[in-house]
Structure 1
Protein backbone atom coordinates (compact mmCIF):
# COMPACT_ATOMS: atom_id res chain seq x y z
CA UNK A 1 0.00 0.00 0.00
CA UNK A 2 1.51 3.34 -1.00
CA UNK A 3 -1.54 5.61 -0.95
CA UNK A 4 -4.62 6.21 1.19
CA UNK A 5 -7.70 8.45 1.06
CA UNK A 6 -9.55 9.78 4.11
CA UNK A 7 -12.53 11.93 5.04
CA UNK A 8 -11.64 14.75 7.41
CA UNK A 9 -14.80 16.09 9.08
CA UNK A 10 -15.72 19.53 10.41
CA UNK A 11 -17.21 20.28 13.83
CA UNK A 12 -19.59 22.78 15.30
CA UNK A 13 -19.79 23.91 18.93
CA UNK A 14 -23.07 23.51 20.78
CA UNK A 15 -21.51 25.56 23.58
CA UNK A 16 -18.30 27.38 24.46
CA UNK A 17 -17.32 28.66 27.88
CA UNK A 18 -13.91 30.18 28.67
CA UNK A 19 -12.91 29.73 32.31
CA UNK A 20 -9.45 31.28 32.45
CA UNK A 21 -6.04 31.54 30.84
CA UNK A 22 -2.87 29.54 31.43
CA UNK A 23 0.60 31.06 31.70
CA UNK A 24 1.49 29.64 28.25
CA UNK A 25 -1.31 31.68 26.63
CA UNK A 26 -3.74 28.79 26.13
CA UNK A 27 -7.28 29.42 27.37
CA UNK A 28 -9.08 26.98 29.65
CA UNK A 29 -12.39 26.02 28.09
CA UNK A 30 -15.48 23.92 28.69
CA UNK A 31 -17.36 23.28 25.46
CA UNK A 32 -19.52 20.76 23.65
CA UNK A 33 -18.31 19.78 20.18
CA UNK A 34 -20.30 17.90 17.56
CA UNK A 35 -18.86 16.35 14.38
CA UNK A 36 -20.89 17.05 11.23
CA UNK A 37 -21.00 15.33 7.87
CA UNK A 38 -19.19 18.11 6.02
CA UNK A 39 -15.70 16.94 5.16
CA UNK A 40 -12.51 17.53 3.22
CA UNK A 41 -11.01 14.62 1.29
CA UNK A 42 -7.34 13.97 2.09
CA UNK A 43 -5.33 11.91 -0.43
CA UNK A 44 -1.92 10.76 0.79
CA UNK A 45 0.67 9.00 -1.34
CA UNK A 46 4.28 7.99 -0.75
CA UNK A 47 6.99 9.50 -2.95
CA UNK A 48 10.26 7.99 -4.14
CA UNK A 49 12.07 11.10 -2.87
CA UNK A 50 12.02 12.28 0.75
CA UNK A 51 10.16 15.53 -0.08
CA UNK A 52 6.93 16.73 1.55
CA UNK A 53 4.54 18.06 -1.09
CA UNK A 54 1.15 19.62 -0.29
CA UNK A 55 -1.41 20.35 -3.00
CA UNK A 56 -4.98 21.60 -2.81
CA UNK A 57 -7.99 22.75 -4.83
CA UNK A 58 -8.15 25.78 -2.49
CA UNK A 59 -6.11 28.96 -2.88
CA UNK A 60 -6.93 29.94 0.72
CA UNK A 61 -4.54 27.58 2.50
CA UNK A 62 -0.72 27.59 2.65
CA UNK A 63 1.01 24.77 0.79
CA UNK A 64 4.33 25.03 2.65
CA UNK A 65 5.55 24.35 6.20
CA UNK A 66 2.98 26.85 7.56
CA UNK A 67 0.26 24.25 6.89
CA UNK A 68 -0.61 22.14 9.94
CA UNK A 69 -0.65 19.09 7.61
CA UNK A 70 3.06 19.65 6.90
CA UNK A 71 3.68 19.86 10.66
CA UNK A 72 1.78 16.58 11.20
CA UNK A 73 3.97 14.78 8.63
CA UNK A 74 7.16 16.17 10.15
CA UNK A 75 6.02 15.23 13.66
CA UNK A 76 5.68 11.57 12.66
CA UNK A 77 8.83 11.53 10.52
CA UNK A 78 10.95 12.87 13.38
CA UNK A 79 9.28 10.80 16.10
CA UNK A 80 9.74 7.50 14.23
CA UNK A 81 12.90 8.40 12.29
CA UNK A 82 11.22 7.96 8.89
CA UNK A 83 12.69 9.66 5.82
CA UNK A 84 10.05 8.67 3.27
CA UNK A 85 8.57 11.42 1.11
CA UNK A 86 4.84 12.18 1.16
CA UNK A 87 2.42 14.03 -1.11
CA UNK A 88 -0.89 15.19 0.36
CA UNK A 89 -3.75 16.53 -1.75
CA UNK A 90 -6.35 18.46 0.30
CA UNK A 91 -9.73 18.64 -1.40
CA UNK A 92 -11.22 21.53 0.60
CA UNK A 93 -14.97 21.50 1.21
CA UNK A 94 -14.97 22.81 4.79
CA UNK A 95 -14.85 26.63 4.73
CA UNK A 96 -11.41 28.00 5.66
CA UNK A 97 -10.88 30.02 8.88
CA UNK A 98 -14.47 29.33 9.81
CA UNK A 99 -14.46 28.15 13.44
CA UNK A 100 -15.10 24.57 12.26
CA UNK A 101 -11.63 23.04 12.90
CA UNK A 102 -10.95 22.40 9.20
CA UNK A 103 -7.17 22.62 9.55
CA UNK A 104 -7.10 20.55 12.75
CA UNK A 105 -9.26 17.94 11.04
CA UNK A 106 -6.84 17.78 8.08
CA UNK A 107 -3.91 17.25 10.47
CA UNK A 108 -5.89 14.54 12.27
CA UNK A 109 -6.51 12.76 8.94
CA UNK A 110 -2.81 12.83 8.08
CA UNK A 111 -1.89 11.30 11.47
CA UNK A 112 -4.46 8.53 10.98
CA UNK A 113 -3.46 7.98 7.34
CA UNK A 114 0.28 7.80 7.95
CA UNK A 115 -0.26 5.56 10.97
CA UNK A 116 -1.79 3.07 8.53
CA UNK A 117 0.56 3.67 5.57
CA UNK A 118 3.70 3.41 7.68
CA UNK A 119 2.29 0.58 9.85
CA UNK A 120 3.08 2.45 13.07
CA UNK A 121 0.29 0.61 14.94
CA UNK A 122 -0.47 3.59 17.19
CA UNK A 123 -3.71 3.41 19.19
CA UNK A 124 -6.32 6.16 18.91
CA UNK A 125 -5.20 7.46 22.30
CA UNK A 126 -1.53 7.56 21.19
CA UNK A 127 -2.55 9.40 18.02
CA UNK A 128 -4.52 11.90 20.14
CA UNK A 129 -1.49 12.51 22.39
CA UNK A 130 0.62 13.26 19.30
CA UNK A 131 -2.17 15.40 17.84
CA UNK A 132 -2.18 17.64 20.91
CA UNK A 133 1.36 18.75 19.99
CA UNK A 134 -0.15 20.22 16.79
CA UNK A 135 -3.22 21.93 18.24
CA UNK A 136 -5.88 21.70 20.95
CA UNK A 137 -8.65 20.57 18.54
CA UNK A 138 -6.63 17.82 16.80
CA UNK A 139 -7.25 15.05 19.41
CA UNK A 140 -11.02 15.61 19.14
CA UNK A 141 -10.91 15.68 15.32
CA UNK A 142 -9.27 12.23 15.25
CA UNK A 143 -12.18 10.61 17.10
CA UNK A 144 -15.07 12.92 16.20
CA UNK A 145 -18.47 12.08 17.73
CA UNK A 146 -19.90 14.42 20.38
CA UNK A 147 -17.80 15.40 23.37
CA UNK A 148 -17.53 17.72 26.31
CA UNK A 149 -14.04 19.18 25.95
CA UNK A 150 -12.25 20.61 28.98
CA UNK A 151 -8.74 21.84 29.81
CA UNK A 152 -7.45 23.51 26.63
CA UNK A 153 -9.85 21.29 24.70
CA UNK A 154 -7.89 18.05 25.04
CA UNK A 155 -9.80 16.44 27.95
CA UNK A 156 -12.66 14.70 26.17
CA UNK A 157 -15.76 13.08 27.67
CA UNK A 158 -17.90 11.48 24.96
CA UNK A 159 -21.65 12.08 25.22
CA UNK A 160 -24.82 11.43 23.24
CA UNK A 161 -24.96 13.71 20.20
CA UNK A 162 -27.51 15.35 17.92
CA UNK A 163 -29.88 12.84 16.32
CA UNK A 164 -29.51 12.20 12.58
CA UNK A 165 -32.98 13.60 11.82
CA UNK A 166 -31.92 17.10 12.92
CA UNK A 167 -30.81 19.17 9.92
CA UNK A 168 -27.84 21.47 10.56
CA UNK A 169 -27.73 24.56 8.36
CA UNK A 170 -24.25 26.06 8.06
CA UNK A 171 -23.56 29.55 6.74
CA UNK A 172 -20.07 31.03 6.55
CA UNK A 173 -20.04 34.73 5.64
CA UNK A 174 -17.15 35.91 3.51
CA UNK A 175 -15.15 37.23 6.47
CA UNK A 176 -11.85 36.34 8.04
CA UNK A 177 -11.83 36.11 11.82
CA UNK A 178 -8.61 35.73 13.81
CA UNK A 179 -9.16 33.24 16.67
CA UNK A 180 -6.29 34.89 18.55
CA UNK A 181 -7.90 38.34 18.27
CA UNK A 182 -11.29 37.04 19.44
CA UNK A 183 -9.79 35.42 22.54
CA UNK A 184 -7.77 38.58 23.24
CA UNK A 185 -10.97 40.62 22.95
CA UNK A 186 -12.71 38.50 25.58
CA UNK A 187 -12.93 40.11 29.02
CA UNK A 188 -12.68 37.09 31.31
CA UNK A 189 -13.97 39.08 34.28
CA UNK A 190 -17.15 40.19 32.54
CA UNK A 191 -18.62 37.20 30.73
CA UNK A 192 -22.41 37.11 30.55
CA UNK A 193 -24.60 34.21 29.44
CA UNK A 194 -22.26 31.35 30.21
CA UNK A 195 -23.56 28.01 28.92
CA UNK A 196 -25.03 25.47 31.32
CA UNK A 197 -23.22 22.45 29.90
CA UNK A 198 -24.77 20.05 32.43
CA UNK A 199 -28.23 21.08 31.21
CA UNK A 200 -27.18 20.80 27.54
CA UNK A 201 -25.82 17.27 28.09
CA UNK A 202 -29.10 16.30 29.78
CA UNK A 203 -31.03 17.69 26.78
CA UNK A 204 -28.91 15.59 24.41
CA UNK A 205 -29.38 12.47 26.57
CA UNK A 206 -33.17 12.96 26.50
CA UNK A 207 -33.24 13.94 22.81
CA UNK A 208 -34.83 17.26 23.80
CA UNK A 209 -33.32 19.27 20.95
CA UNK A 210 -35.85 22.09 21.37
CA UNK A 211 -34.55 22.86 24.89
CA UNK A 212 -30.95 22.33 23.76
CA UNK A 213 -31.44 24.87 20.95
CA UNK A 214 -32.88 27.48 23.30
CA UNK A 215 -30.01 27.08 25.79
CA UNK A 216 -26.96 26.93 23.48
CA UNK A 217 -24.40 29.62 24.30
CA UNK A 218 -20.98 30.67 23.00
CA UNK A 219 -19.18 33.30 25.09
CA UNK A 220 -16.96 34.21 22.11
CA UNK A 221 -19.94 35.30 20.01
CA UNK A 222 -20.31 38.57 21.85
CA UNK A 223 -16.76 39.54 20.81
CA UNK A 224 -16.99 38.49 17.14
CA UNK A 225 -20.52 39.77 16.50
CA UNK A 226 -19.58 43.25 17.73
CA UNK A 227 -17.04 43.44 14.89
CA UNK A 228 -19.14 41.60 12.27
CA UNK A 229 -22.86 42.41 12.26
CA UNK A 230 -23.45 39.67 9.64
CA UNK A 231 -23.34 37.04 12.41
CA UNK A 232 -26.49 38.37 14.11
CA UNK A 233 -28.15 38.97 10.72
CA UNK A 234 -27.65 35.33 9.66
CA UNK A 235 -28.99 34.11 13.01
CA UNK A 236 -32.08 36.30 12.60
CA UNK A 237 -32.73 34.88 9.11
CA UNK A 238 -32.42 31.31 10.44
CA UNK A 239 -34.71 31.97 13.41
CA UNK A 240 -37.29 33.70 11.17
CA UNK A 241 -37.31 30.56 9.01
CA UNK A 242 -38.15 27.93 11.63
CA UNK A 243 -34.73 27.17 13.15
CA UNK A 244 -35.06 25.71 16.65
CA UNK A 245 -31.94 27.69 17.57
CA UNK A 246 -28.99 29.41 15.92
CA UNK A 247 -25.48 30.26 17.13
CA UNK A 248 -21.93 31.04 16.02
CA UNK A 249 -19.48 28.11 15.97
CA UNK A 250 -15.99 28.40 17.45
CA UNK A 251 -14.53 31.90 17.25
CA UNK A 252 -16.58 32.46 14.09
CA UNK A 253 -17.62 33.63 11.68
CA UNK A 254 -19.65 30.51 10.77
CA UNK A 255 -23.23 30.44 12.02
CA UNK A 256 -25.34 27.29 12.26
CA UNK A 257 -29.01 26.63 12.82
CA UNK A 258 -30.73 23.45 14.03
CA UNK A 259 -33.93 22.41 12.22
CA UNK A 260 -36.31 19.54 12.98
CA UNK A 261 -37.66 19.59 9.41
CA UNK A 262 -35.22 19.25 6.51
CA UNK A 263 -37.56 21.16 4.14
CA UNK A 264 -37.33 24.23 6.43
CA UNK A 265 -33.52 23.99 6.46
CA UNK A 266 -33.40 23.73 2.65
CA UNK A 267 -35.81 26.67 2.24
CA UNK A 268 -33.65 28.79 4.56
CA UNK A 269 -30.53 27.69 2.67
CA UNK A 270 -32.02 29.09 -0.56
CA UNK A 271 -32.72 32.42 1.18
CA UNK A 272 -29.16 32.64 2.56
CA UNK A 273 -27.64 31.73 -0.82
CA UNK A 274 -28.97 35.04 -2.17
CA UNK A 275 -26.38 36.79 0.06
CA UNK A 276 -23.75 34.17 0.92
CA UNK A 277 -21.94 31.56 -1.18
CA UNK A 278 -20.91 29.07 1.52
CA UNK A 279 -24.17 27.57 2.77
CA UNK A 280 -24.70 23.86 3.50
CA UNK A 281 -27.33 21.56 4.99
CA UNK A 282 -25.74 18.58 6.77
CA UNK A 283 -26.43 16.13 9.58
CA UNK A 284 -24.44 15.08 12.63
CA UNK A 285 -21.79 12.36 12.32
CA UNK A 286 -20.38 9.73 14.67
CA UNK A 287 -17.01 9.78 12.93
CA UNK A 288 -14.17 12.28 12.85
CA UNK A 289 -11.53 10.92 10.49
CA UNK A 290 -12.66 8.05 8.29
CA UNK A 291 -10.52 5.92 5.98
CA UNK A 292 -12.22 5.55 2.57
CA UNK A 293 -12.55 2.12 0.99
Structure 2
Protein backbone atom coordinates (compact mmCIF):
# COMPACT_ATOMS: atom_id res chain seq x y z
CA UNK A 1 0.00 0.00 0.00
CA UNK A 2 1.41 3.37 -1.05
CA UNK A 3 -1.61 5.64 -0.54
CA UNK A 4 -4.17 5.73 2.25
CA UNK A 5 -7.22 7.99 2.54
CA UNK A 6 -9.05 8.59 5.80
CA UNK A 7 -11.74 10.83 7.28
CA UNK A 8 -10.98 12.62 10.55
CA UNK A 9 -14.26 13.26 12.39
CA UNK A 10 -14.98 16.21 14.68
CA UNK A 11 -16.42 15.87 18.18
CA UNK A 12 -18.76 17.82 20.40
CA UNK A 13 -19.20 17.61 24.17
CA UNK A 14 -22.75 16.71 25.20
CA UNK A 15 -21.61 17.36 28.77
CA UNK A 16 -18.40 18.82 30.15
CA UNK A 17 -17.55 19.08 33.83
CA UNK A 18 -14.26 20.09 35.46
CA UNK A 19 -13.81 18.47 38.86
CA UNK A 20 -10.61 20.11 40.04
CA UNK A 21 -7.23 21.49 39.08
CA UNK A 22 -4.51 18.98 39.80
CA UNK A 23 -1.16 19.84 41.42
CA UNK A 24 0.54 19.31 38.03
CA UNK A 25 -1.59 22.09 36.52
CA UNK A 26 -3.85 19.82 34.47
CA UNK A 27 -7.60 19.86 35.07
CA UNK A 28 -9.49 16.70 35.95
CA UNK A 29 -12.55 16.44 33.74
CA UNK A 30 -15.67 14.35 33.33
CA UNK A 31 -17.14 14.64 29.84
CA UNK A 32 -19.44 12.99 27.35
CA UNK A 33 -17.72 13.00 23.96
CA UNK A 34 -19.68 12.52 20.76
CA UNK A 35 -18.53 12.17 17.15
CA UNK A 36 -20.43 14.24 14.59
CA UNK A 37 -20.75 13.83 10.84
CA UNK A 38 -18.30 16.60 10.01
CA UNK A 39 -14.82 15.62 8.95
CA UNK A 40 -11.50 16.53 7.38
CA UNK A 41 -10.21 14.46 4.45
CA UNK A 42 -6.61 13.29 4.60
CA UNK A 43 -4.62 11.49 1.93
CA UNK A 44 -1.30 9.90 2.90
CA UNK A 45 1.32 8.83 0.35
CA UNK A 46 4.60 7.06 1.04
CA UNK A 47 7.79 8.87 0.08
CA UNK A 48 11.17 7.34 -0.64
CA UNK A 49 12.78 10.36 1.03
CA UNK A 50 12.91 10.54 4.83
CA UNK A 51 10.61 13.57 5.01
CA UNK A 52 7.19 14.62 6.25
CA UNK A 53 5.39 16.96 3.84
CA UNK A 54 2.01 18.53 4.58
CA UNK A 55 -0.16 20.25 2.00
CA UNK A 56 -3.37 21.93 3.15
CA UNK A 57 -6.10 24.10 1.68
CA UNK A 58 -5.93 26.44 4.71
CA UNK A 59 -2.95 28.76 4.58
CA UNK A 60 -3.27 29.62 8.29
CA UNK A 61 -2.35 26.04 9.23
CA UNK A 62 1.36 25.28 9.73
CA UNK A 63 2.97 22.62 7.55
CA UNK A 64 5.80 21.80 9.95
CA UNK A 65 6.32 20.80 13.61
CA UNK A 66 3.56 23.23 14.56
CA UNK A 67 1.00 20.86 13.06
CA UNK A 68 -0.19 17.83 15.05
CA UNK A 69 -0.20 15.79 11.83
CA UNK A 70 3.55 16.36 11.49
CA UNK A 71 4.20 15.53 15.15
CA UNK A 72 2.08 12.35 15.02
CA UNK A 73 3.84 11.14 11.84
CA UNK A 74 7.27 11.96 13.30
CA UNK A 75 6.44 10.09 16.50
CA UNK A 76 5.34 7.01 14.56
CA UNK A 77 8.49 7.10 12.42
CA UNK A 78 10.65 7.35 15.54
CA UNK A 79 8.87 4.62 17.50
CA UNK A 80 8.80 2.07 14.68
CA UNK A 81 12.07 3.03 12.95
CA UNK A 82 10.34 3.94 9.69
CA UNK A 83 12.98 5.21 7.25
CA UNK A 84 10.53 6.18 4.51
CA UNK A 85 8.72 9.49 4.52
CA UNK A 86 5.11 10.49 4.05
CA UNK A 87 3.24 13.20 2.18
CA UNK A 88 -0.09 14.35 3.61
CA UNK A 89 -2.79 16.23 1.73
CA UNK A 90 -5.32 17.77 4.13
CA UNK A 91 -8.72 19.09 3.06
CA UNK A 92 -9.94 21.00 6.12
CA UNK A 93 -13.64 21.20 6.98
CA UNK A 94 -13.64 21.08 10.79
CA UNK A 95 -13.49 24.64 12.14
CA UNK A 96 -10.09 25.66 13.51
CA UNK A 97 -9.68 26.65 17.19
CA UNK A 98 -13.32 25.81 17.71
CA UNK A 99 -13.63 23.29 20.56
CA UNK A 100 -14.27 20.42 18.13
CA UNK A 101 -10.88 18.63 18.38
CA UNK A 102 -10.02 19.25 14.74
CA UNK A 103 -6.26 19.06 15.30
CA UNK A 104 -6.61 16.02 17.54
CA UNK A 105 -8.83 14.30 14.97
CA UNK A 106 -6.20 14.88 12.27
CA UNK A 107 -3.47 13.51 14.56
CA UNK A 108 -5.59 10.43 15.30
CA UNK A 109 -6.15 9.93 11.57
CA UNK A 110 -2.38 10.17 11.07
CA UNK A 111 -1.74 7.41 13.62
CA UNK A 112 -4.35 5.20 11.91
CA UNK A 113 -2.85 5.98 8.49
CA UNK A 114 0.78 5.33 9.48
CA UNK A 115 -0.28 2.02 11.01
CA UNK A 116 -1.98 1.01 7.76
CA UNK A 117 0.63 2.38 5.33
CA UNK A 118 3.53 0.67 7.06
CA UNK A 119 1.67 -2.52 8.10
CA UNK A 120 2.40 -2.08 11.82
CA UNK A 121 -0.63 -4.07 13.03
CA UNK A 122 -1.22 -1.90 16.09
CA UNK A 123 -4.19 -2.37 18.41
CA UNK A 124 -6.42 0.55 19.35
CA UNK A 125 -4.89 0.54 22.84
CA UNK A 126 -1.37 0.78 21.42
CA UNK A 127 -2.42 3.69 19.21
CA UNK A 128 -4.03 5.45 22.16
CA UNK A 129 -0.82 5.17 24.21
CA UNK A 130 0.98 6.98 21.39
CA UNK A 131 -1.79 9.55 21.00
CA UNK A 132 -2.07 10.59 24.65
CA UNK A 133 1.55 11.80 24.60
CA UNK A 134 0.59 14.21 21.81
CA UNK A 135 -2.75 15.48 23.13
CA UNK A 136 -5.44 14.56 25.67
CA UNK A 137 -8.26 14.37 23.06
CA UNK A 138 -6.36 12.11 20.67
CA UNK A 139 -7.14 8.77 22.42
CA UNK A 140 -10.86 9.58 22.11
CA UNK A 141 -10.51 10.64 18.46
CA UNK A 142 -8.80 7.33 17.72
CA UNK A 143 -11.87 5.52 19.09
CA UNK A 144 -14.74 7.84 18.17
CA UNK A 145 -18.45 7.36 18.81
CA UNK A 146 -20.00 8.08 22.21
CA UNK A 147 -17.75 7.90 25.28
CA UNK A 148 -17.34 8.97 28.87
CA UNK A 149 -13.99 10.76 29.23
CA UNK A 150 -12.30 11.18 32.61
CA UNK A 151 -8.91 12.05 34.10
CA UNK A 152 -7.36 14.67 31.80
CA UNK A 153 -9.39 13.12 28.99
CA UNK A 154 -7.39 9.94 28.57
CA UNK A 155 -9.59 7.56 30.64
CA UNK A 156 -12.30 6.46 28.23
CA UNK A 157 -15.40 4.32 28.66
CA UNK A 158 -17.19 3.36 25.45
CA UNK A 159 -20.94 4.03 25.56
CA UNK A 160 -23.82 2.95 23.30
CA UNK A 161 -24.56 5.12 20.27
CA UNK A 162 -26.91 8.00 21.07
CA UNK A 163 -30.31 8.15 19.34
CA UNK A 164 -30.27 9.84 15.94
CA UNK A 165 -30.97 13.56 15.77
CA UNK A 166 -30.23 16.56 13.59
CA UNK A 167 -27.55 19.06 14.57
CA UNK A 168 -26.92 22.66 13.64
CA UNK A 169 -23.30 23.54 14.39
CA UNK A 170 -22.19 27.16 14.25
CA UNK A 171 -18.80 28.78 14.82
CA UNK A 172 -18.78 32.57 15.29
CA UNK A 173 -16.17 34.80 13.70
CA UNK A 174 -13.62 34.43 16.49
CA UNK A 175 -11.05 31.96 17.79
CA UNK A 176 -10.75 30.91 21.43
CA UNK A 177 -7.61 29.69 23.17
CA UNK A 178 -8.23 26.54 25.22
CA UNK A 179 -5.31 27.55 27.44
CA UNK A 180 -6.91 30.94 28.14
CA UNK A 181 -10.24 29.36 29.09
CA UNK A 182 -8.75 26.82 31.51
CA UNK A 183 -6.43 29.42 33.04
CA UNK A 184 -9.45 31.61 33.80
CA UNK A 185 -11.67 28.80 35.11
CA UNK A 186 -12.10 28.74 38.89
CA UNK A 187 -12.78 25.02 39.21
CA UNK A 188 -12.97 25.05 43.02
CA UNK A 189 -15.71 27.66 43.14
CA UNK A 190 -18.04 26.46 40.39
CA UNK A 191 -21.68 26.77 41.45
CA UNK A 192 -22.99 24.32 38.84
CA UNK A 193 -21.91 20.87 37.67
CA UNK A 194 -23.76 19.01 34.90
CA UNK A 195 -25.24 15.61 35.75
CA UNK A 196 -22.78 13.49 33.78
CA UNK A 197 -23.74 10.25 35.57
CA UNK A 198 -27.41 10.88 34.76
CA UNK A 199 -26.47 11.52 31.14
CA UNK A 200 -24.59 8.22 30.98
CA UNK A 201 -27.69 6.43 32.33
CA UNK A 202 -29.87 8.17 29.70
CA UNK A 203 -27.44 7.18 26.92
CA UNK A 204 -27.56 3.57 28.09
CA UNK A 205 -31.39 3.70 27.97
CA UNK A 206 -31.43 5.41 24.56
CA UNK A 207 -33.34 8.34 26.08
CA UNK A 208 -32.58 11.41 23.94
CA UNK A 209 -34.66 13.75 26.13
CA UNK A 210 -32.79 12.52 29.20
CA UNK A 211 -29.54 13.35 27.42
CA UNK A 212 -30.53 16.81 26.20
CA UNK A 213 -32.11 17.78 29.54
CA UNK A 214 -28.72 17.21 31.22
CA UNK A 215 -26.52 19.01 28.69
CA UNK A 216 -24.11 21.43 30.35
CA UNK A 217 -20.58 22.80 29.97
CA UNK A 218 -18.81 24.52 32.88
CA UNK A 219 -16.35 26.19 30.47
CA UNK A 220 -19.21 28.43 29.34
CA UNK A 221 -18.69 30.33 32.61
CA UNK A 222 -15.46 31.68 31.10
CA UNK A 223 -16.02 31.78 27.35
CA UNK A 224 -19.56 33.19 27.35
CA UNK A 225 -18.51 35.98 29.71
CA UNK A 226 -15.88 37.15 27.23
CA UNK A 227 -17.88 36.44 24.07
CA UNK A 228 -21.62 37.21 24.44
CA UNK A 229 -22.27 36.07 20.85
CA UNK A 230 -22.21 32.47 22.13
CA UNK A 231 -25.37 33.00 24.21
CA UNK A 232 -26.96 34.84 21.26
CA UNK A 233 -26.36 31.87 19.01
CA UNK A 234 -27.68 29.39 21.57
CA UNK A 235 -30.79 31.54 21.87
CA UNK A 236 -31.45 31.52 18.12
CA UNK A 237 -31.13 27.73 17.98
CA UNK A 238 -33.55 27.26 20.89
CA UNK A 239 -36.04 29.79 19.47
CA UNK A 240 -36.18 27.70 16.29
CA UNK A 241 -36.83 24.34 17.90
CA UNK A 242 -33.58 23.03 19.37
CA UNK A 243 -34.39 20.79 22.33
CA UNK A 244 -31.18 22.18 23.80
CA UNK A 245 -28.06 24.07 22.70
CA UNK A 246 -24.57 24.16 24.14
CA UNK A 247 -21.04 25.37 23.54
CA UNK A 248 -18.63 22.57 22.61
CA UNK A 249 -15.34 22.22 24.48
CA UNK A 250 -13.72 25.55 25.29
CA UNK A 251 -15.68 27.12 22.43
CA UNK A 252 -16.59 29.15 20.61
CA UNK A 253 -18.57 26.63 18.53
CA UNK A 254 -22.22 26.20 19.50
CA UNK A 255 -24.49 23.30 18.56
CA UNK A 256 -28.22 22.70 18.78
CA UNK A 257 -29.91 19.28 18.85
CA UNK A 258 -33.17 18.83 16.95
CA UNK A 259 -35.66 15.97 16.88
CA UNK A 260 -37.51 17.54 13.93
CA UNK A 261 -35.73 17.85 10.57
CA UNK A 262 -37.77 20.89 9.50
CA UNK A 263 -36.96 22.74 12.71
CA UNK A 264 -33.28 22.04 12.15
CA UNK A 265 -33.49 23.41 8.60
CA UNK A 266 -35.30 26.54 9.79
CA UNK A 267 -32.75 27.08 12.59
CA UNK A 268 -29.92 26.74 10.07
CA UNK A 269 -31.56 29.36 7.86
CA UNK A 270 -32.20 31.67 10.83
CA UNK A 271 -28.55 31.42 11.81
CA UNK A 272 -27.56 32.26 8.25
CA UNK A 273 -29.79 35.34 8.31
CA UNK A 274 -28.43 36.46 11.69
CA UNK A 275 -24.93 36.57 10.23
CA UNK A 276 -23.31 35.54 13.51
CA UNK A 277 -21.56 32.41 12.26
CA UNK A 278 -18.36 32.28 10.23
CA UNK A 279 -18.97 28.57 9.61
CA UNK A 280 -22.32 26.80 9.74
CA UNK A 281 -23.25 23.12 9.31
CA UNK A 282 -26.45 21.06 9.22
CA UNK A 283 -25.49 17.52 10.13
CA UNK A 284 -26.00 14.72 12.66
CA UNK A 285 -24.27 12.31 15.04
CA UNK A 286 -21.74 9.77 13.76
CA UNK A 287 -20.70 6.48 15.33
CA UNK A 288 -16.99 6.81 14.69
CA UNK A 289 -16.83 3.68 12.56
CA UNK A 290 -16.03 3.49 8.86
CA UNK A 291 -13.17 5.98 9.06
CA UNK A 292 -11.13 4.72 6.15
CA UNK A 293 -12.27 6.29 2.90
If the TM-score is normalised by the length of the shorter chain, which range does it land in? over 0.9
Q: Distance in 2 between matches of 1:173 and 1:288?
A: 29
Q: Measured at CA, do residues 61 and 289 of structure 1 come closer, stay the same or move farther in structure 2, by a change above 3 Å?
A: farther
Alignment correspondent of 1:119: 119
Tell me if structure 1 keeps the 8 A contact 2:196–2:214.
no
1:289 and 1:77 mapped to 2: Cα distance?
Answer: 25
Question: For structure 1, which runs of at least 5 residues remain unmatched after alignment?
Answer: none
Q: Post-superposition shift, 1:288? A: 5.9
Query: What does residue 98 of structure 1 align with?
Result: 98
Counterpart Cα distance in 1 of 2:216 and 2:187: 16
8 A Cα contact 1:141 1:289, kept in partner: no
Tell me if structure 2 keeps the 8 A contact 1:168–1:265. yes
User: How many Å separate the matches in 2 of 1:32 and 1:224?
Assistant: 19
CA–CA distance in structure 1, aligned partners of residues 95 and 34 of structure 2: 16
Deviation of 1:85 after TM superposition, in Å, equals: 1.2
- CA contact under 8 A between 1:17 and 1:29: conserved in structure 2? yes
Q: Distance in 1 between matches of 2:262 and 2:272?
A: 15
2:224 alignment counterpart: 225
Aligned counterparts, 1:1-293, within 5 A: 1-164=1-164, 166-274=165-273, 275=275, 276-287=277-288, 290-292=291-293
State how far apart, in whole Å, the 1-side matches of 2:122 and 2:206 are.
Answer: 35
Structure 2 distance, partners of 1:243, 1:273, is 16
Instruction: Give, in angstroms, the shift of residue 204 of structure 1.
Output: 1.8
Q: TM-score, normalised by structure 2?
A: 0.97
Q: Deviations over 1:1-45 (max 9, x none)?
A: 111000000000011111122333221100000001100001100
CA RMSD of aligned residues (A): 1.2
Conserved 8 A contact 2:163-2:207: no
CA distance in 1, matches of 2:206, 2:87: 43
